[in-house]
Amino acid sequence: MSRMSFNNFSLICSNCEKEHDINILPPRCSSCNEPLEVRIKKIDVDRNIFKGREFSMWRYSEFIFTRKMISLFEGGTPLLKANRLSEYSGLKNIYLKNETVNPTGSFKDRGTAVGLNFALQKNNKLIGTLSTGNMAKSVAAYAAKAGVKAIVFVKDTISSEKINLISMFGQEIHRVKEDYGKLYFKIMDDYKDVFFINSDYPARIEGQKTIAYEICEQLNWDVPEYIVIPVSSGGNFSAIYKGFKEFFEAGFISTIPELIGVQAEGCSPIYKAYIQGKPQIEEFSKPHTIAHAIENPYPPSGNRVLKIVKENYGKIVAVNDEEIIFSQKLLSLKEGIFAQPASAAALGALLKLKDKRFFEKNDKIVLIITGMNQ
């Protein structure tokens, strides 16, 4: 079957289920201010439709509501069997979804591609984002490819090396001191002429959900028991769950894996709400962690993550900086991947849960390696 009609998609609040105009694609619900998500009204394709297509995220065009106008060949990342980590841990089936090989080195490229293509369809020539680094670099690179202008807001504590990388793409950079969690909302109010492709923007989620699609195919539709995901804003966690859920509802897979979200102890608002049994997050005071990519004191999709964890019977884990540093080195030594600390947090959580005998030794476990160390 050919690509689904744009009319086959709707835009619904992830919390109160209010419908919004998908042609405008606002970032938040007008009633409860929670994240919106694109939903497919009807799925009537067979999973064999993907055979023979190039292995990029655009092979799933029937499930993505935008047209591909600009691409840097994002997605199509390897799922690696981590044999040496399996030998080290005693868990036989550890896999690494290596998002470091995306065009700018992280999973962010998937979401940026869909967000930018939607912006171009709506003739928006000024895009922007708020980022700890990876998303800023991604948006700047894709804007350069498309020949449009980007404004990126980054924390004033970002390293000069990351600033230099972002500046190579010739876009406008603002270093800001304000509270990172609250700034997410403030910049959208202050810069209304900018099309923001922020961490949990609906179009970004649509790109990042393809991580789940690829895992299904790469494991020959035999999905793992567990997916371990570093969590900052909550957008990627939400996206990966959405991807598995859509393929489950399409009849492509027989079950949905249990998702394990990982936060750094030094900035863990979602974990704190989870262990306290609360349905909503609270701002995390005085955040401090080496894993800057998951250092968000007030994650905009935090409440959505808590809702998904309850629905999915999932889990949220926190790891300290010592566990993160150890895992970063272990990932390098055992599997040859030098990932950023936030990525290594996933391995830290696996080792922590293994020590608590959470896993069976034959469980199939996929760690999402979100980005390279830079």
Q: Which two tokens stand for residue 116?
A: 């930018």
Q: Which residues pair with 19 in a beta bridge?
A: 12
**Average pLDDT for residues 297-312, to the nearest whole number?**
97
**Average pLDDT for residues 72-97, to the nearest whole number?**
98
201-221 tens-digit pLDDT? 999 999 999 999 999 999 999
pLDDT tier, 2 (very low <50, low <70, confident <90, very high otherwise): very low
Q: Is 278 left (phi over 0), alpha (psi -120 to 50) or beta?
A: beta
**Average pLDDT for residues 341-345, to the nearest whole number?**
98
**Average pLDDT for residues 137-146, to the nearest whole number?**
97
* Helix or strand holding residue 154 (H, E): strand 149-155
- 257-287 as b/e: b if 16+ CB within 10 A: bbbbbbbbbbbbbbbbbbeeeeeebeebeeb
Asked whether the predicted pLDDT for residue 34 surpasses 80, the reply is yes
pLDDT tier, 159 (very low <50, low <70, confident <90, very high otherwise): confident
Asked whether the predicted pLDDT for residue 353 surpasses 60, the reply is yes
Same fold, 79-106+202-369 and 108-196: yes
**Average pLDDT for residues 352-356, to the nearest whole number?**
98
Q: Give me the pLDDT at residue 177, please.
A: 84
218-262 tens-digit pLDDT? 999 999 999 999 999 999 999 999 999 999 999 999 999 999 999
DSSP category for residue 190 = H
Q: Give me the pLDDT at residue 4, please.
A: 43
Say how many C-beta atoms besides its own lie within 10 A of residue 128's C-beta.
25
Integer Cα distance of 203 and 210 in angstroms? 12
Asked whether the predicted pLDDT for residue 200 surpasses 70, the reply is yes
Query: What DSSP letter does each residue of 71-100 carry, written as one string?
Result: -S------EEE-HHHHHHHS-SEEEEEEGG
**Average pLDDT for residues 286-296, to the nearest whole number?**
94
Q: Give me the pLDDT at residue 1, please.
A: 34
**Average pLDDT for residues 42-65, to the nearest whole number?**
94
* Helix or strand holding residue 365 (H, E): strand 364-369
Q: Give me the pLDDT at residue 317, please.
A: 98
Integer Cα distance of 110 and 103 in angstroms? 9
Global pTM?
0.96
Integer Cα distance of 164 and 218 in angstroms? 36
pLDDT tier, 6 (very low <50, low <70, confident <90, very high otherwise): low
Asked whether the predicted pLDDT for residue 182 surpasses 90, the reply is no
For the chain, what is the mean pLDDT? 94
Integer Cα distance of 4 and 229 in angstroms? 30
Percent of the chain with pLDDT over 70: 98
Domain 108-196 belongs in CATH node 3.40.50.1100? yes
**What are the sequence ranges of the domains in the chain?**
79-106+202-369, 108-196
- CATH class, domain 79-106+202-369, is alpha beta
Asked whether the predicted pLDDT for residue 325 surpasses 50, the reply is yes
